[in-house]
Structure 1
Amino acid sequence: MSRPIAEDDLHAFVDGALAPARRAEVEAFLEKNPEIANRFGRFAEHRVELRSALAPIAAEPIPPQLNLAHLIAARRPARWAKWSSMIAACLLLLIGGAGGWLLRGDGAAGGVGIEALADEAAYAYAVFGTDRARAVEIPAADGPMLARWMENRLRRRVTMPDLARRGFRLMGGRVVATRNGPAGLLMYDDARGLRIAILMRPMIAQDRSARMAFHRQGDVVGFTWADRGMGYGLMGTASAGLLHPLADEARRQFQSKARA
């Protein structure tokens, strides 16, 4: 009897690291579980995007000072510590660059306006809205801490809309990186487990005030707007008819707190 399909099997399936027999078992499992198949299908898409984004860096020649023969020759502890720091710095740059590329959006290259905000919000939802383990970094129970974190990074007052009357509870949030600086990301869900996300950040050079507009990026849809120099994007995979009233209510609360 084969062992049950575990999370490690699913990630190895996305990475193409399974033996043929086990791969066939995972494929059969995914056929019977379309929700899980859809989630890990998105992981596979992100993996392809990440590899594509880092391909130019990977193709560059290794700097002479990081050549393996050179590192082996420098065996003295002090020298090794120096090169270790350089290698760690390179890895951090690669990881940071990868995160930026994942959240950049196809239309965000060089963009700072509402279209760039829409791309950033859609990609943030695609990454964190489907994460069943760590959708948020700080839970709603620690709301004051979350608000302080966002306000410190955005340098703006932050409002966390109450959408309970619309059937959605605040799960929590985090601060995410975008091409246009830090942004706050709030995650909500309803009784069925349907999730929506609100991304907010200062508008740098344009669209400091913008009317609400509909956006679609693949399966992710939502509405964006800007008011008093802050931009907002409410995104999810629900219908526009469900999301529009939520966006209207969130905007009303943001404007009410801004005038207070």
Structure 2
Amino acid sequence: MTADRDELHAWVDGRLDGERLRRFEQRLDADPALRAEAQAWRSQTEALKGLARDVLDEPLPERLTAAAQGIAPGRRTANAPGREAAASADAVRRARDPRLWLAAATLAALAWTAGWISHARFAPPGASLARTAPPEFVRDAVAAHVVYAPEVRHPVEVAATQHEHLVQWLSKRLGAPLTVPSLDARGWSLVGGRLLPGADGARAQFMYQDASGARLTLYVADAGGLSGDTAFRFDSDGRIAAFYWIDGRFGYTLSAQTDRATLLALAEEVYRQLTRASPAPA
């Protein structure tokens, strides 16, 4: 199984060639489920690569070039244009060095983690909804929202017009009956859904849209060892807001680019409908 996953991710990253590539693509042709998972991973990878491409292509700001050269503001002289040009070019080369970008990304990740830890350590007693970093499935849910919510031509794999097929298909892949909440009364109509890969198996994303074209996604994932923690929790990166909770086997994440109060009302409605649809305990 590990070898299979290694092959899959090598294909997604473009690291397969020759005979290995030919054999793996034969497997994709023969296995629709594997093909769907591989294409989902590749689409997500390409979309994430594109998020910052415009920023990377921007020219380096002059003040950063000066800082890299160790030149204080106002100290640039007119009698050494050749030396400044050479130093500036060297600074740009250093700034484009992928090792520096990797270091910056690592520092950003550390800063994000430190922010969560400090929030958990120093937040007032009333701030109980966000004491700890969200589970992995929440991070994956928000990433999937960022990737697929802007899609115009292919936001979902199965449209809402095939509602019965959509529910049966995703229920089968996740190994349990799923319910798709209706949010029409709240102004959000179902667009459809898609199958997504996860570290612990298949996951589902249902997408909704309001009259303005804004998108809302409900992400369903196996909660694993987190099962039993049913409290609502809130997470936001300043742009995408998410409420998440765990009910029985599954973890649910509702994500949208909206305010907390609006999203909470929608999350409560989703939770009510999912609870009503759940079979009564024996």
Give the TM-score band, short-chain normalised: 0.5 to 0.7
TM-score of the superposed pair, with normalisation by structure 1: 0.60
Paired position in structure 2 for 1:203: 223
Matched, 1:258 2:278: yes
Give the percent of matched residue pairs that are identical in Structure 1 and Structure 2.
Answer: 23
The CA deviation at 1:194 is 1.0
Over 3 Å counting, the alpha-carbon distance change for 1:103 and 1:254 in structure 2 is: farther
TM-score of the superposed pair, with normalisation by structure 2: 0.55
Aligned residues: 181
SS at match of 1:205: helix
SS at match of 1:178: coil
Whole-Å Cα distance in 2 between the matches of residues 202 and 87 of structure 1?
Answer: 28
Report matched runs for 1:137-156 at 5 Å: 137-156=157-176
Paired position in structure 1 for 2:236: 216
Paired position in structure 2 for 1:170: 190
Do the aligned residues in 2 keep the contact of 1:114 with 1:231 (CA within 8 Å)? no
Report matched runs for 1:69-148 at 5 Å: 85-86=22-23, 88=25, 98=42, 115-148=135-168
Do the aligned residues in 1 keep the contact of 2:134 with 2:235 (CA within 8 Å)? no
Report matched runs for 1:33-72 at 5 Å: 66=18
Do the aligned residues in 1 keep the contact of 2:44 with 2:147 (CA within 8 Å)? no
The CA deviation at 1:165 is 1.4
Do the aligned residues in 2 keep the contact of 1:103 with 1:120 (CA within 8 Å)? no
Over 3 Å counting, the alpha-carbon distance change for 1:103 and 1:234 in structure 2 is: farther
Gaps of 5+ in 2: 1-8, 29-34, 49-108, 113-132
The CA deviation at 1:216 is 1.4
Do the aligned residues in 1 keep the contact of 2:44 with 2:144 (CA within 8 Å)? no
Give the counterpart of 1:227 among 247, 264, 267. Answer: 247
Whole-Å Cα distance in 2 between the matches of residues 89 and 201 of structure 1?
Answer: 29
Whole-Å Cα distance in 1 between the matches of residues 275 and 209 of structure 2?
Answer: 23
- Structure 1 or 2, whichever has the larger Rg, is 2
Whole-Å Cα distance in 2 between the matches of residues 148 and 94 of structure 1?
Answer: 21
Over 3 Å counting, the alpha-carbon distance change for 1:174 and 1:187 in structure 2 is: same
Whole-Å Cα distance in 2 between the matches of residues 156 and 189 of structure 1?
Answer: 26
Over 3 Å counting, the alpha-carbon distance change for 1:140 and 1:94 in structure 2 is: closer
Whole-Å Cα distance in 2 between the matches of residues 84 and 136 of structure 1?
Answer: 28
Cα deviation 1:174-197 (Å, max 9, x = unaligned): 111122321111000111111100
AA of the residue aligned to 1:154: L
Kindly indicate which of the two structures has a greater share of residues assigned to strand: 1
- Higher normalized contact order (CA 8 Å, seq sep 6+, divided by chain length): 1
AA of the residue aligned to 2:270: A
